């Protein structure tokens, strides 16, 4: 099953924000003022520490599947895809890579444990609006 994400209306913007937070889970903010924002990618090693300390089971592990990006526009439901095996088959070889295949709920649980928070839409937009990559 392929899922094509086309975002046009304001209702879908909320979904888009959750997808950004769910699929990438890269940006966490420490509680500090705006000039001291601490941006860090959450690595597999850090997420593994959280899972080991809390015995947390991710949504993808509960469901037995997750959504995997096939190309720029296409996504596919993939059995056994989770934070340990992002493509459903191969384990992560580097613990320093950013963790993937975590849901919005997983991200919130990690943030609570790490005493951090996800960026707001405005904070995220400020970070990426002038990105020229």
Note the pLDDT tens digit of each residue in 24-74. 444 444 444 454 455 677 899 999 999 999 999 999 999 999 999 888 889
Q: What is the pLDDT of residues 74-88, one digit of tens each?
A: 999 999 999 999 988
- The two structure tokens encoding residue 19: 């997808």
Q: Are strands 65-69 and 2-4 parallel, antiparallel or unpaired?
A: unpaired
In the chain, what are the domain boundaries?
A: 2-128
- Cβ-proximal residues to 57 (8 Å cutoff; 6+ apart), any chain: none
Query: CATH number of the domain at 2-128, please?
Result: 3.90.1580.10
In angstroms, rounded to a whole number, what is the distance separating the alpha carbons of residues 46 and 115? 13
Residue 129 DSSP SS3: coil
The answer to whether the CB of 96 falls within 8 A of the CB of 42 is no
């Amino acid at each position: 099953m392929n899922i094509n994400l086309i975002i046009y209306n304001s209702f879908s913007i909320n979904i888009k924000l959750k997808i950004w937070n769910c699929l990438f889970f890269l940006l966490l903010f420490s509680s500090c003022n705006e000039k001291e924002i601490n941006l860090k990618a959450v690595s597999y090693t850090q997420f593994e520490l959280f899972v080991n300390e809390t015995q947390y089971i991710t949504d993808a592990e509960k469901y037995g599947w997750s959504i995997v990006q096939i190309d720029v526009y296409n996504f596919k439901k993939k059995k056994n895809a989770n934070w340990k095996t992002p493509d459903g088959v191969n384990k992560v070889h580097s613990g320093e890579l950013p963790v993937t295949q975590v849901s919005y709920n997983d991200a919130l649980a990690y943030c609570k444990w790490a005493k951090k928070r996800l960026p707001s839409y405005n904070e995220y937009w400020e970070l990426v609006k002038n990105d020229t990559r």
